[in-house]
Structure 1
Amino acid sequence: MLQSMLSCCKLYISESRNSLALQSIERAATLHPDAAIINKFKDEAYNRVGYTLVSPLTENPFFNSPLNEAVVSMVAEAFKAIDLRSHCGTHPRLGVVDHICFHPLAESTLEQSARLAKMAAAAIGQCLQVPTFLYGAAHEEGRSLASIRRELGYFRPNSGGHEWAGGLCLDISRRKPDKGPSQVDQARGVVVIGATQWVDNYNIPVRSTDMTVVSRLAKRVGGRGGGFDSVQALALAHGKDCIELACNLLEPDRVGADRVQLEVQRLAAQEGLVLEQGYFTDFSRDRIIESYLMRKVD
């Protein structure tokens, strides 16, 4: 029964180098013991950290989910500990808390995940007063994460070279947030919250400094360039002499990392590029469930 009623959230914060800030954010989650951080993925070059949290799914409409309580507590602490105006990194971002996504696990449903996403958006937008945008099953028209990001200029570096730095000068008057104010605080930015089926995040290092060529490769791999329709790929500078293909595998049971790796190898050979083996930034769904259940047993 416990396994069938789990909810999952992936929370991405635009910081990885300030250990004190991350410690305070993680302490905020421990105030809600039914929710647990199952995975933490830090990337120094991107200056970004991703957390995967799991809790039992609460169906009683009069009680908030422990997962939501933990997520909102972490978000509130992130806004206290991090100022986007002093942030820089090679991963794009729209705010201190760049992205939150809820996923169904085991026998829970996408509808239940969407309900959690809407509750989190209400708390962050209205209580914390940060513009909040919904996507996927949490949005009434099912708009995509990529469409919101394109509208808000997420994919265009705002600093020298291939880096994002400083606060955001966003005009969101044409795209009214789903929750929260219509003015953007440069220290906090905005938050995008959604609900989707499970997504695998898989990064493939490319030994190159030619962003034009690697960006062309990313486009050819994904659906927008005639590649896999369930793959989104973005070329991002990652350390010295390396550009990564950051891939979202939207239907990993149909098009998984092995197929993507082989296709990228084929296309890279045509461009004369040298690849490394890709890597996941999170555990598999099954391992996440197993890890949470083992914690409860312990």
Structure 2
Amino acid sequence: NRTVLTMIGSPEQIKKAAINTAKKAAELIDMSKHQGAHPRMGATDVIPFTPVSNVSIGECKEVALEVAAEIGSWGIPVYLYEDSATRPERRNLADIRKGQYEGFFEKIKGEEWKPDFGPQEMNVKSGATAVGARVPLVAFNVNLDTPDVEIADKIAKKVRYIGGGLRYVKAIGLKLEERNQTQVSMNLVNYEKSAVYQAFEMVKMEAKRYGVNVVGSEVIGTVPMKALLDVAEYYLQIEGFSLDQILEKRLLDVQ
């Protein structure tokens, strides 16, 4: 029920691309007719700006502010989150998104949920949008050979931090109707402290409790090279390996 777009470029290029994409989404997507399994609150649900190379988190925050102000000027409520958050309770995207599109019509009336930009009134067609700067995360999903979404939910609750699991993992259980499977959908918000292989192994371990097998996994969007290197080091037990040993990285460094 959603699409993830990843754009890479200079701050000015990314700012223009984000604004143009959000504007097109506002034209084409009618949230009043939208249904789906993944939590969402707007046609352009969330726009994160992350530093990759030769750019600071501060510069990302500046771009986020400009984009948020522009979207707000279209009559769409905008909330700043993560490093751009204007108050602690808005740092976590899940807290902002709670209630989703349908629940936001009432939620937005409360003073504590007055948008950072745009009207204090839900946009019926476009919903609301979250914009912010944050460090890169890894969107990592693990598929299970069961159609029972309750099992996926139970596993997700064990894996995510709020349920006593990995400190920097957020997780939910989803149903994959077309495959007759389910999925533990995760965001690793700090892949260096909660690694991809740790999340994968914990899902496998919890799945055994229900006699369920892992049948595949996927990465959504781009992923930092270091995150995959950690996986290779763990499973291959490579000793003393570093990013400098990756051929493509060395070639990029000399360009």
Which band: TM-score by shorter chain?
Answer: 0.7 to 0.9
- How far apart are the structure 1 equivalents of 2:189 and 2:176? 23
Please name the residue that 2:109 is paired with.
173
Whichever structure has more helix as a proportion of its residues is 2
For this pair of structures, how many residues does the alignment match?
A: 225
Match of residue 40, structure 2, among 85, 93, 100: 93
1:168 Cα deviation (Å)?
A: 6.5
- AA aligned to 1:135 is Y
Question: What is the DSSP-based 3-state SS (H/G/I as helix, E as strand, rest coil) of the residue aligned with 1:217?
Answer: helix
Question: What is the DSSP-based 3-state SS (H/G/I as helix, E as strand, rest coil) of the residue aligned with 1:276?
Answer: strand
- How far apart are the structure 2 equivalents of 1:74 and 1:246? 25
Please name the residue that 1:248 is paired with.
187
Whichever structure has more strand as a proportion of its residues is 1
- AA aligned to 2:96 is I
Please name the residue that 2:82 is paired with.
136
Match of residue 122, structure 1, among 62, 69, 75: 69
Q: TM-score under structure 2 normalisation?
A: 0.81
The question of whether the paired residues in 1 share the 8 Å contact of 2:150 and 2:173 is answered with no
Residue identity over aligned pairs, in percent, reads: 26
Please name the residue that 1:229 is paired with.
167
- AA aligned to 2:142 is I
Extract structure 1 runs of 4+ deviating beyond 6 A: none
Match of residue 54, structure 1, among 2, 5, 8: 8
Q: TM-score under structure 1 normalisation?
A: 0.70
| Residue 18 of structure 2 corresponds to residue 71 of structure 1 | yes
Q: How does 1:203-222 map to 2 (within 5 A)?
A: 203-222=141-160
1:212 Cα deviation (Å)?
A: 2.4
Please name the residue that 1:265 is paired with.
204
Q: Which runs of 5+ in 1 are unaligned?
A: 1-46, 58-64, 159-166
The question of whether the paired residues in 2 share the 8 Å contact of 1:100 and 1:194 is answered with yes
Please name the residue that 2:95 is paired with.
147
The question of whether the paired residues in 2 share the 8 Å contact of 1:124 and 1:180 is answered with yes
Question: What is the DSSP-based 3-state SS (H/G/I as helix, E as strand, rest coil) of the residue aligned with 2:40?
Answer: coil
- How far apart are the structure 2 equivalents of 1:219 and 1:276? 20
| Residue 124 of structure 2 corresponds to residue 189 of structure 1 | no
1:210 Cα deviation (Å)?
A: 2.3
1:282 Cα deviation (Å)?
A: 1.7
The question of whether the paired residues in 2 share the 8 Å contact of 1:209 and 1:243 is answered with yes
Q: Which runs of 5+ in 2 are unaligned?
A: 227-247
